[in-house]
Structure 1
Amino acid sequence: MGETLEAIRKSIRENKWTGPTAGHADGYVQTNLVILKKDLAYDFLLFCQRNEKACPVLDVTDAGSYVPAKSAPDADLRTDLPKYRVYRNGELVSERDHITDFWEDDFVAFLLGCSFTFEKALLDYGVPVRHIEENVNVPMYNTNLPLHESGIFKGSMVVSMRPIPAKDIAKAVQITARSPKSHGAPVHIGNPEEIGISDISAPDFGDAVTVREGEIPVFWACGVTPQAAAIASKPDLMITHAPGHMFITNLKDTDVTI
């Protein structure tokens, strides 16, 4: 991908880049995407408010608009993500590189903060980010951490995992806590079984990464949570990003950092 945001977005729009966005567009805020029909938008907004750790809202479009006016007024949410997922009645029915032909006049799009945004800060302070090192997608897992319900929306939190050297954990917590709109500090450190993860080598989304001797798995709330909610709640239609394939906004990471 190109060096500038414009080149990156053009590459994605033209389907020249269809892979995960971690490690790209340093300094810019990346977001998760959820698109729903207008009649479910209020309940989902309330769901996000009640579960802000997993679903921090950064932008919401007007009904029928595919332009995120607050965060990227020159973008098109139908084409400007590397990969999309379409859920119908709780079932994943397709994965697509654009959703232009799916767009409807009553769609409302939500952009939710993503932990990819704080990864540059981790790297700048010498904290390793393994999935970037290994050039794979971040590992993500379903958990037993319950969510607060709103309307039809319910389920359990999805988390992303990064193996962190024990000596760097306090630093990682401090760095990420400064980015509450990008999920903030970890929700769990250590034993994955305590949050319902039986096999850390078999993520539910993304790719497994190496956990080296002296490293501890650290878990952050993840914006794939709404996709787990879609499976649990079964809305007629929900369109999302494919896990790890984010929308890159015009916002700088400093805009959402405390």
Structure 2
Amino acid sequence: MKAAIDQRELWGHLGWQDVKQRYRRSTIGPLWITISMAVTAAALGGLYSQLFDQPIGTFMPYVTVGFMIWYFISACVLEGTETFIANEGLIRFLPAPLMIYVFRTVWRQVLFFAHNLVVYVIVLAIFFPELTRPYQMVHNGVMHPGLGWSALFAIPAFVLIVINGLWVTLLFGIIATRFRDIPPVVSSFMQLFFTMTPIIWTTDLLKGGRAGSPRSIVDFVAKLNPFYHFIEIFRAPLVGQVQSWTHWAVCGVITVVGWALALIALRNYRSRVAYWV
């Protein structure tokens, strides 16, 4: 781990080259990342605000931030399964720690996230008055305090998400290198988790259901979804919503358990990855 951190110039350069290579010969280059994010947020935010009968001034930022952090998390999971396979040539001929390729993958996603962050700034500028006063996402729902200094909690939240992205990339990368059926299986499950995670819908819609009712069951299932907690610790501060410390507790437990599993896998199988690729 320390050796990989010391070689940050190497994985930092490789990650930046990945971004440049993806948009090589493109006129506007990586700005396509921002444009794609803006179109997705505008289209789905506008559509679902009408379907759910929610004010667009608060729903659009909600959807935008949800997509931003979901893209980062899902990319760490999906590209994490390919991280060692995609670096086969370097692994075979470059005597470097495996963590370099993990850092490279996650750093690339951080760069993509930075481009998407521009979309949030634009949306915030447009809907700033609606977000800075108390509001409800649904009629007779939870009253959210509005945007304030608590938005700074998004910084440690993103750091925690990046830390989790590292162990996910490491653990899934090792497993997927040994078992090549893992990437398509993970991809299928991520599509399922996308629909189950409150990204384009809000859990405020589920409040007030009687015990045993479909709404209360869906609310309970949503809270079992680990992606929900990671999204909430980042999104809630940026859209001025009430944030439960339960989300931080769940994310903390997942971080500790995840890193323990990843380090065990690294200790036991690091020497075999070069043969598996």
Fold-level similarity (TM above 0.5): no
Indicate the structure with greater helix content.
2
Which structure carries more relative contact order (alpha carbon 8 Å, separation 6+)? 1
**Normalising to structure 1: TM-score of the pair?**
0.26
**Normalising to structure 2: TM-score of the pair?**
0.24
Indicate the structure with greater strand content.
1
